[in-house]
């Protein structure tokens, strides 16, 4: 039987250290194809390119792996992979995204380009995983993630995922002690509290830098923030259906305009 076909993407760009880590692990598991942004696309969420052109160029950065760099967003990259690069050919058995430089726990999943690539895979009906390392340093050490990336991806390849589900996997930064293991978690109740640093350019025109702090309101021990803080790998199953199902009967019962 042929080896699994694995589509790799990310949001930090095709030259990032994290995607090299992911490609090297995926080469152990199957046939790898890469379609990733040609420049950083962090914080793009699930944006797609509709008002501008898209460019796609073959890139030979990965030894023994066919790769393309795309001018679009992470979601664009997965779409281009499936509907142009692989059009009329075998489709991926799994989509993997990352490894992101920085955490994508809690509410960050909504802003994450890393997870948008994974969720785009889930929308297309393919099992998908987004991997992130809770270390924003350009010198971040990814070595402790490799064993768990392999194990988690192998489980998904062998057992699949529920329809429409993508896994949001976050790793603690490298520490002196080994990782304690994996926790299947829920998304923590946390958010970014933003502020805007107002400045002026040489012509006196105002401009702003968005700044702020991440605030965790969650006191539970079953969420991704707790897992990362306690040196576990957090795995959160995510879905693209944002319907608040519990609110439907409430609105039907209480609204007087229906």
3-state secondary structure of 19: helix
DSSP 59-72: E--STT-EEEEESS
User: How far apart, in whole angstroms, are the C-alpha atoms of residue 223 and residue 230?
Assistant: 11
Is residue 42 marked as binding?
yes
How many beta carbons lie within 10 A of that of residue 194, not counting itself? 9
How many beta carbons lie within 10 A of that of residue 100, not counting itself? 30
Give the tokens for residue 68. 């393309």
Tell me which H or E stretch contains 192: strand 190-200
Is residue 135 marked as binding?
no
Q: End-to-end alpha-carbon separation of the chain, Å? A: 57
User: How far apart, in whole angstroms, are the C-alpha atoms of residue 101 and residue 18?
Assistant: 7
Is residue 11 marked as binding?
yes
CB 69 within 8 A of CB 57: yes
User: How far apart, in whole angstroms, are the C-alpha atoms of residue 231 and residue 202?
Assistant: 46
User: How far apart, in whole angstroms, are the C-alpha atoms of residue 215 and residue 232?
Assistant: 20
Tell me which H or E stretch contains 119: helix 113-123
Is residue 195 marked as binding?
no
Binding residue ranges for a divalent metal cation: 11-12, 42, 100
Binding residue ranges: 11-12, 42, 100
């Amino acid at each position: 039987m042929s080896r699994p076909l694995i589509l790799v993407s990310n949001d930090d760009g095709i030259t990032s250290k994290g995607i090299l880590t992911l490609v090297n692990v995926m080469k152990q598991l199957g046939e790898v194809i890469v379609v990733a942004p040609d420049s950083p696309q962090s914080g793009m969420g699930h944006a797609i390119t509709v008002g501008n052109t898209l460019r796609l160029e073959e890139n030979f950065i990965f030894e023994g792996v066919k790769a393309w760099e795309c001018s679009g967003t992470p979601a664009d990259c997965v779409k281009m992979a499936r509907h142009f690069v692989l059009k009329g050919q075998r489709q991926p058995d799994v989509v993997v995204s990352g490894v992101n430089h920085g955490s994508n726990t809690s509410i960050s999943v909504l802003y994450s380009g890393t997870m948008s690539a994974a969720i785009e895979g889930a929308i297309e009906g393919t099992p998908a995983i987004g991997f992130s390392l809770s270390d924003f340093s350009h010198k971040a050490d990814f070595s402790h993630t490799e064993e768990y990336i392999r194990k988690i991806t192998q489980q998904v390849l062998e057992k699949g995922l529920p329809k429409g589900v993508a896994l949001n996997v976050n790793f603690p930064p490298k520490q002196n002690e080994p990782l304690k293991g994996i926790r299947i978690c829920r998304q923590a109740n946390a958010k970014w509290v933003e502020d805007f640093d107002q400045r002026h350019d040489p012509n006196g025109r105002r401009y702003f830098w968005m700044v702020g702090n991440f605030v965790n309101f969650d006191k539970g021990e079953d969420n991704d923030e707790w897992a990362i803080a306690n040196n576990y790998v957090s795995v959160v199953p995510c879905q693209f259906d944002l319907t608040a199902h519990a609110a439907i009967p409430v609105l039907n019962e209480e609204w007087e305009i229906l």
